[in-house]
Amino acid sequence: MAGDEELLDLPDLVRDRAAEGRVKAAATRARKAASVVLAEDEPIAEVLVDVALAHLDRTFDYAVPASMAATAKPGVRVKVRFAGQDVDGYVVGRKDASEHGGKLTPLRRVVSDERVLHPAIAALAGDLAERYAGTRSDVLRLAVPARHATVEQVSSAKPQRPAGWEATAATRAWHGHEPGAALLQHLAAGGSPRAVWHAAPGADWPTMIAHAVAATLASGRGAVVCLPDGKDVARLDAALAAVLGDGHHATLTAEEGPARRYHQFLAVSRGTVRVAVGTRSAAFAPVRDLGLLVIWDDGDDLHAEPRAPYPHTREVLLLRAEREGAGLLVGGFARTVEATYLVATGWAHAVLPSRELTRARALVRVAGASDADLDRDPLTRSTRMPHEAHALVRQALGRGPVLVQTPRRGYAAALACETCRAPARCPDCSGPLRTAGPVTPPTCVWCGHEHPAWTCPSCGGHGLRAPVVGDHRTAEELGRSFPGTRVLSSSGDRVLTEVDGRPGIVVATPGAEPVAATGYAAVLLLDTWLALSRAGLRTEEEALRRWSNAVGLLGDGGQALAVGDPALPVLQALVRWDQPGFAERETALRREAHLPPASRLATITGTPGAVDDALTLFDAPEDAEVLGPVPLDEGRGDAEVRVVVRVPRARGAALSAALGELQRLRSARKLDPVRIQVDPIEI
């Protein structure tokens, strides 16, 4: 027994020593904290800590040591001790007294005296966290780019003098868009108009936006412009350089790399430039004295942030316009139901192209594949490319480049049995089969196995056909039809930005269309039935948007032809260039069906247990409908479920508040996380 005790004593001794050490360290720390000399003026800093827990999304008070009195200003990044850990945070305020009962820990470190979180952006983060039932720290992760110390050392250039505003050139650029000139004059005079702008086909929208920005600068205020992708940013970049001259704007995109991105951000943050242009993140650019916010093509799903709390750029700009009293311009060749709602409620004015301009700029027709044609075979080249389409391409090739839009990329997007038309599936894993060219064997999209000797399981046939033709095969076919013509392809990871004005055919998938130097002589839209075949809430709206963007690239006197059913209202809207009218009818339908934007919708997603717990905590607002839970991605192993909550639009704020409260309760009780999306882009 005594021996046992001795054996036990040794580890006990070690443990005691370690404990003694810990106690000593704690005492040292306490003495250090007590001995810190605090700032004389406003010795308390309000800090927003970067912690993912919803119930900790508030400011915490820290003591400001005298050494940091001058640097710990609102907006700077700091390191603080929080629950025993070093965490990042931002100082959002300084004050003389704290409401906190206990004693305050001193700030650990001011990371940099660069004030990167501006008050307006901190407030915007609060608005967005509330609206999207998320946390401010999540929003700030989207809003403030990563620090790059070396970039910070470089002092910024002197602020440029505002560029002069040429009213005549601006009015010319906006010619035919009513009331465009009045909008620009209002901006130049210091006003904050809110407009939803529908562009005419072939409109030089980058130049038009550049003039709106110039008008805003002339009033002594700054501007923010958000575009879907880097290609569009590059176009606006060039237009701004042409209208304003160099050095007046910063370009903020993710693809430029962290150093350059932070450099551009600092130019805006320090007030060196007053115009910020970029993709989603540019919506948060801390431009001072904001006069105008612009979003182009708000229907493009690239404007929907894929990271929590999933804010949409249009909503970010909307909230920012309200809070900072700035003007807002929502523009596009297409029109979303959300933008239409802004006009319908009188929140924004419509700026529309005149009938004369639309007629003069483009002629859009539909080449009908009749029902009989489609019955005969929707897949043959003769129906896919009717005679009328061939004639248009041939005629237009005499004048310049021709754009052919095709919805699918690759060679043959999916394969089917030649005899019985059953979709061809992989014998190993049941994945769909595709082929990359006329001589490559069919390959499974899921497992990658090649099946040169495929046999149809239902009829025993060996032949394969391509019910859906990709852009490469389209290019190949056009090359045969128009020998000696230059045929280019732009899709997927091989996207062309621009083509010259020489005759040639450009086959592109939606969103990958290159810009033609002087506009296209003709635009041909193929397989419109395919773009409409996808099931979804926004299928027609999205198809119309994609076609409109292609037709938007036409040059003066160009012609567009869509191959499809001329009786379809969505194609008729394209022909009449009446996207706003289509969106208005769509909005009415959505209202009847209790779908956004007339209703506010949110989803709660997670494991069945987590969603179940969330629902018991959820205090649904009045008139809320809770639908589900339903399994998500059935067939896959991850077994997530989703609940949809729907309220009338007037209860939108109450829904956001209830979901925010749910997240705070859930995180305080350490329950499994659920993903909450308010106004998801697609359900």
- Minimum CB separation from DNA for residue 105, in Å? 3
Among 36, 38, 42, 53, binds DNA (CB under 7 A): 53
Closer by beta carbon to DNA, 107 or else 328: 107
> Taking the mean position of all CA atoms in its chain, how far away is CA 679?
13
Q: Assign 257 to helix, strand or coil.
A: coil
- Minimum CB separation from DNA for residue 95, in Å? 11
- Minimum CB separation from DNA for residue 73, in Å? 19
Tokens of residue 326, six digits: 């700035």
Closer by beta carbon to DNA, 53 or else 302: 53
Among 3, 11, 102, 484, binds DNA (CB under 7 A): 102
Task: Give residues 452-471 in contact with DNA (rule: CB under 7 A).
Answer: none
- Minimum CB separation from DNA for residue 25, in Å? 7
Listing DSSP states for 2-23 in one string gives HHHHHHHHHHHHHHHHHHHHHH
Closer by beta carbon to DNA, 62 or else 577: 62
Question: Strands (DSSP E) along 495-566, which ranges?
Answer: 498-499, 504-508, 515-516, 520-525, 554-564
Closer by beta carbon to DNA, 60 or else 482: 60
Closer by beta carbon to DNA, 13 or else 593: 13
- Minimum CB separation from DNA for residue 30, in Å? 8
Among 60, 265, 333, 547, binds DNA (CB under 7 A): 60
User: How far apart (Å, rounded) are the C-alpha atoms in residues 488 and 481?
Assistant: 14
CB contact at 8 A, 410 and 436: yes
The answer to whether 588 contacts DNA (rule: CB under 7 A) is: no
List residues bridging with 563 in a β-sheet. 367
Q: Assign 330 to helix, strand or coil.
A: strand
Closer by beta carbon to DNA, 102 or else 346: 102
> Taking the mean position of all CA atoms in its chain, how far away is CA 597?
18
User: How far apart (Å, rounded) are the C-alpha atoms in residues 63 and 7?
Assistant: 48
Among 104, 151, 360, 653, binds DNA (CB under 7 A): 104
User: How far apart (Å, rounded) are the C-alpha atoms in residues 330 and 346?
Assistant: 14
The answer to whether 132 contacts DNA (rule: CB under 7 A) is: no
The answer to whether 22 contacts DNA (rule: CB under 7 A) is: yes
Helix (H), strand (E) counts: the chain: 22, 29
β-pairing, 464-469 with 412-417?
antiparallel
Distances (CA, A) of 456 to 261, 462, 464: 53, 6, 9
The answer to whether 61 contacts DNA (rule: CB under 7 A) is: yes
The answer to whether 100 contacts DNA (rule: CB under 7 A) is: yes
Q: Considering only the stretches 57-65, 295-303, 416-424, 631-639, report the one whose residues sit in contact with DNA under the rule CB under 7 A.
A: 57-65
The neighbour count for residue 303, using CB atoms within 10 Å, is 26
The answer to whether 26 contacts DNA (rule: CB under 7 A) is: yes
Closer by beta carbon to DNA, 85 or else 168: 85
E strand or H helix that includes residue 279? none
Closer by beta carbon to DNA, 53 or else 588: 53
- Minimum CB separation from DNA for residue 8, in Å? 14
Among 13, 18, 242, 668, binds DNA (CB under 7 A): 668
Tokens of residue 224, six digits: 């923010």
Task: Give residues 71-90 in contact with DNA (rule: CB under 7 A).
Answer: 81-85
Closer by beta carbon to DNA, 3 or else 84: 84
User: Any idea which residue has 């997670």 for tokens?
Assistant: 606
Closer by beta carbon to DNA, 105 or else 572: 105
Q: Which residues contact 61 (CB under 8 A, 6 or more apart)?
A: 44, 45, 46, 47, 98, 99, 100, 104
Distances (CA, A) of 40 to 44, 65, 66: 10, 9, 7
Among 158, 387, 636, 670, binds DNA (CB under 7 A): 670
Q: How many residues bind DNA (CB under 7 A)?
A: 21
By CB under 7 A, name the binding residues for DNA: 22, 25-26, 53, 56, 60-63, 81-85, 98, 100, 102, 104-105, 668, 670
